[in-house]
Structure 1
Amino acid sequence: MLRALSEKELHRLEDLLITYGNDYSVINLAELNGFFTALASSPVTVHPEQWLPAVAGGKVPNFKKPAHEEAYTALMLRYASQVAEELADNVDHFEPVFEEGEDGVIIMEEWCFGYMRGTQVAGWSELPAAQDPLLKAISLHGLEDNFELLDQMSEDDIQACVPHVIDAARALYCFHRQRH
């Protein structure tokens, strides 16, 4: 078991995501947490050589310094393990890393986008009818195709989705673990 990332290490990882990010890369810790949650919940194992380029938007960045590349890779690997362990150790208490607005409003969008990116990298196949609504609860907030729907929802309606997204993430993890 690896040691969980400290606050300082999490900030360093987020700085590296920003520094080496592009229009197609994971942009923050919320999105990265969603991405790793989907990978940990996946029916297939996705290896770092498959997911590292996806985090960076298609290919691993050209790092300015070797120390940046070492930190980026080491922190990514540890964070992926940390998220997987959090799910495995106590899925019923797993809490996604959502962003929070200044007014205390939970912002799920980035996490959900990361989760959906993770399902794509892992090549999730269609889910059975009983599990499909779970992924739809997440994809509502994590796919650009749904922006129009979200625009029609009130802030209260969106906030009411928060527990559904959390429950969906937990249930999808359990569903895929039971099938292994």
Structure 2
Amino acid sequence: MTKSVNLDELDQFLSSDESPENCMMLSDLDGLLHGVICSPSPVSSDVWMAAGLGAELKELPEWVVNTLTDRYMEIAQGLAHDPMVVEPIFWQAKEGHVIAMDWCEGFMKAVSLNPKEWLRLSESGKDGHLMTPILLHMIDEQGNSMMGITQDQLDKALFQASEVIPDSVARIYLYWQ
């Protein structure tokens, strides 16, 4: 990551009382940014920042806007690079396993900004599966998979899905190019 993107400071801000009440946390925001960059049509920074931070640009500290813009550019450059570089920010549980659920929720928030356009991918017949690793992380309020995965298989399925998310994101990005 570039030195200009100080994600530790951003993470502290997002967790503080200074942040907007409805703002996402760092992993969710990173998923949102990846989804916005992969989007079939451009999403203005006013729209995605309001969706992710729960506030208008003018209400946010300048350094927060700059840090998010830097991270946006870093992700976009990684996707434009050959070979592509996709490095999602997932949480790490104390037990050592990866938690990609928040990141996936952020990505799906980006999808919700242009849902009709994203339908072309999910209904394409041959490429709709690209969204599967992300969709597998959608869990209801009772902790059950929204994709019908049984509780005894859920941890394994989520781990396997999180491993292929970077490749899926790269392929989703290419789908819209």
Q: In the alignment, which residue of structure 1 is the partner of 2:2?
A: 4
Please show how residues 1-180 of structure 1 align to structure 2 within 5 Å: 4-6=2-4, 9-19=6-16, 20-22=19-21, 24-28=22-26, 30-57=27-54, 59-60=55-56, 69-90=61-82, 92-123=84-115, 124-126=117-119, 127=121, 128-142=124-138, 144=140, 147-149=143-145, 152=151, 153-177=153-177
Which amino acid in 2 is paired with 1:133?
H
Paired residues in the alignment total 167
CA contact 1:39–1:122 (8 Å) conserved in 2: no
Give the TM-score normalised by structure 2: 0.80
Q: 1:147 to 1:166 in 2, by over 3 A?
A: farther
1:35-65 CA distance string (max 9 Å, x none)? 11111111111111111111113x33885xx
Which amino acid in 1 is paired with 2:79?
L
Which amino acid in 1 is paired with 2:96?
G
For structure 2, the 5+ residue unaligned runs are none
Q: Distance in 2 between matches of 1:122 and 1:145?
A: 24
Query: What is the deviation of 1:25?
Result: 2.4
Give the TM-score normalised by structure 1: 0.79
| Structure (1/2) with the larger helix percentage | 1
For structure 1, the 5+ residue unaligned runs are none
Which amino acid in 2 is paired with 1:130?
K
Q: 1:95 to 1:62 in 2, by over 3 A?
A: closer
SS of equivalent residue, structure 2 residue 24: coil
